[in-house]
Structure 1
């Protein structure tokens, strides 16, 4: 049965207005909002955007380019939700308001279509690797206009490195709880090693893992105002889940969690680190004398809420020195497609995070969100910094004492 979110006339406007009315205008969201810190402009704060959304919903304002831009600049980090005393559902309000106004005219449709198709992305990555594109990407990017989404995408290309992991078991033990892993789109290609690592760790902790087909969960469309496309992908998520026979769903990319939970409101959708932390006594790790900077993506903090579980797991690795990247800054600026649509703003936000990482003097950078990691790596390339980077699950799987 389809669960497409069709609404009767004016229902969306009424819903937006009701959500906006929950805001008490206290301003506690302002100090944790990255775009407000960037611009010092009330319209670039959650409180300002709520006022814009209410005005649009009630017909008191037209969706002019200027008003749209304030909404489009929002990173959807949800720091505001975490500190809101009135429990305003800001993420839902933002999604509904973008659905009301429709997709931005500056949305890079062709590029996003490529990113949403893992088979095409894998082909493009293979061709790029064969011709050594990452080695001369800067010269090619310099030929593209500043602010170009394609130029920003080129900047994220990395030299391919393979992180050694033990092979997966062919026949995991029956009788264990079955977990379905959602690979996603970009992560299924760019973070395939982390997916492999998650399966190794979960099997060592006593789970069986079944992998769903790789496709986009709909987050790119949902947050871009493409509601019809997002609903179609949500239905595909539900079909894949029903066919899995699993007890709960996981994804290695926290950026997919909110969208998967929206598609499957009655199903437990989790970050794998929460499952691993619950069975931490089953996992033993080899020592690693290394100082790592742990970057906690906004979605891990505010959607997955798994930062404590992740730090617990990493601190089980003997001799590993884990330094959490300080906040503020509150967001690296990647924010899904934001780094492609607003690369200059995203780069300004990134600089603050890279500066905080530098103060930690790490030997390696860990981050669980592939978009954040690629965005930060592009900034490292530009600045001549060289911190090897990986998903935390990859490091944990590498150090696992007795892989299954």
Structure 2
């Protein structure tokens, strides 16, 4: 499935997608950027109008128009409430492909994030140098809108090793076979969640093959770099075919949309959905703890796995789960948005952290690594030190494993 399309095809597709919008405005109340700015051009309806004008040649991709498109978080709250079923995700991807990557895109940083080996090496060097202890002082020397400043502030603090128990591979010949896609940043910064997924899935009776760790192409797909996005999509397809496992899983909801685009005829899902289907095979030890459950936009609007997650957490005796209210609708992480527009991302984050504070948790759970790192940076800034982890990690740590 080729992601690259000639400009005339892109323009026709964009115009057709935009024509589906009936301009009702039901998307405005759920749009985080419209709430932030109160500007029609920062709403889904406004961006659809911009996309249509660009596709029909009624406007040029000026810096101002590009900025309104680049500010979009891709949260898809609008798509979920749209009565006309506008495929906003497709329209946004194709419009960004039409105008191409932003000239201000942080290419060097994104190149580092795309490569788990380099990222792991950088994390190791930073840990040895104690970078996390003086990252704030270094960041303060950089401009407030600096991409590298945002990256430094998102650098995880040293934390105790998150021990995750292992479960044996099912021996049944008819055990369903699954492929687990590790991703790039998540394979390094959320390795415990990956190990937790393997443990829980095996305990539930699934046979799981871990695929090689590399970038799925989400950063490039949403940044308008279709050449790189298609190259990485082809690598996803080759890796999946070599594995021979029909369903594809990812512990990071932010990767699911891109993986589904690369494998349109394959079931690509959140492990939580499958675990909830076999919840009767899982038993958990009690945990007397109050947790704030942050539901990332991609978990709600792409994975659609929030009810599966909540049902699994409720199986942990004595666990007090308080879901972070919406609105606010998005924490502002949104893939690379927190790096490219750090000041806007920080403003969006404030509302979420305020809601978490009201819940008075002992711990924060969030399934998207970008959201968790972004929220943790805000916690550091305000002196809040809630431990945070992927919900799968907590579930695996409480799992009762029978020999």
Question: How does the TM-score come out when normalised to structure 1?
Answer: 0.98
Change (3 A) 1:337 1:127: same
Counterparts of 1:42 and 1:158 in 2: how far apart (Å)? 36
Map 1:191-206 onto structure 2 (within 5 A). Answer: 191-206=190-205
Q: C-alpha separation between the residues in 2 aligned to 1:223 and 1:6?
A: 13
Q: Post-superposition shift, 1:58?
A: 0.2
* CA distance 1:92–1:403, change in 2 (3 Å): farther
- Give 2:288's aligned residue: 289
Of 84, 87, 90, which aligns to 1:86? 84
| Corresponding residue for residue 22 of structure 2 | 24
Match of 1:64 in 2: 62
- Between the aligned partners of 2:5 and 2:377, the Cα distance in structure 1 is 41
Query: 3-state DSSP class of the match of 1:179?
Result: strand
1:205-237, CA deviations, whole angstroms, 9 ceiling, x for partnerless residues?
000110000000000000000011101100000
Contact kept in structure 2, 1:198 and 1:252, CA below 8 Å? yes
RMSD: 1.0
SS of equivalent to 1:362:
coil
Aligned partners of 2:167 and 2:203 also within 8 Å? no
Distance apart, 1:354 and its partner CA: 0.1
1:245 deviates by 1.2
Which residues of 2 match residues 107-256 of structure 1 at below 5 A? 107-161=105-159, 162-167=161-166, 169=168, 172-175=170-173, 176-256=175-255
For residues 65-110 of structure 1, what are the alpha-carbon distances to aligned partners after superposition, in whole Å with 9 as ceiling and x for unaligned?
0000000000000000000000000000000000001111111000
Provide, for residues 309-363 of structure 1, a one-character-per-residue CA deviation record: whole Å limited to 9, x for no partner: 0000000000000000000000000000000000000000000000000010000
Instruction: Find the counterpart in structure 2 of residue 37 from structure 1.
Output: 35
**Which residue does 1:105 correspond to in 2?**
103
Deviation at 1:6, TM superposition (A): 3.6
Contact (CA 8 Å) 1:166, 1:403: kept in 2 or not?
A: no
Contact persistence 1:177–1:247 (CA under 8 A): no
Please show how residues 43-62 of structure 1 align to structure 2 within 5 Å.
43-62=41-60
CA distance in 2, matches of 1:7, 1:294: 40
Deviation at 1:132, TM superposition (A): 1.1
1:264-279 alignment runs, 5 A limit? 264-279=263-278
Regions of 4+ moved over 3 Å: none
Any idea what SS the aligned residue of 1:215 has? coil
Correspondence 1:339-378 to 2 at 5 A: 339-378=338-377
Partner of 2:378: 379
Cα shift readout 1:278-305 (whole Å, capped 9, x = no counterpart): 0000000000000000000000000000
Q: Following the alignment from structure 2 to structure 1, what is the Cα–Cα distance between the partners of residues 157 and 381?
A: 14
CA distance in 1, matches of 2:167, 2:177: 16
Deviation by residue 1:105-163 (Cα, 9 ceiling, x = unmatched): 11100000000000000000011111111011011111212211111000011223211
1:403 to partner: Cα distance: 5.8
SS in 2 for 1:10: helix
The corresponding residue for 2:303 is 304
- Separation (CA, whole Å) in 2 of partners of 1:8 and 1:388: 48
1:4 Cα deviation after fit: 2.1
Structure 2, unaligned stretches of length 5 or more? none
Which residue number corresponds to residue 4 of structure 1?
2
Deviation for aligned residue 1:168: 5.2
Aligned residues of 2:249 and 2:271 also touching (Cα < 8 A): yes
- The count of corresponding residues between Structure 1 and Structure 2 is 401
Does the alignment pair 1:317 with 2:316?
A: yes
- TM-score normalised to structure 2 length: 0.98
Give the conservation status (yes or no) of the 8 Å contact 1:183–1:195.
yes
Q: Output the CA distance in 1 between the equivalents of 2:3 and 2:296.
A: 29
3-state SS of 2:365 partner: strand
For 1:210 and 1:123, locate their aligned partners in 2 and report how far apart those are by CA, in whole Å: 25
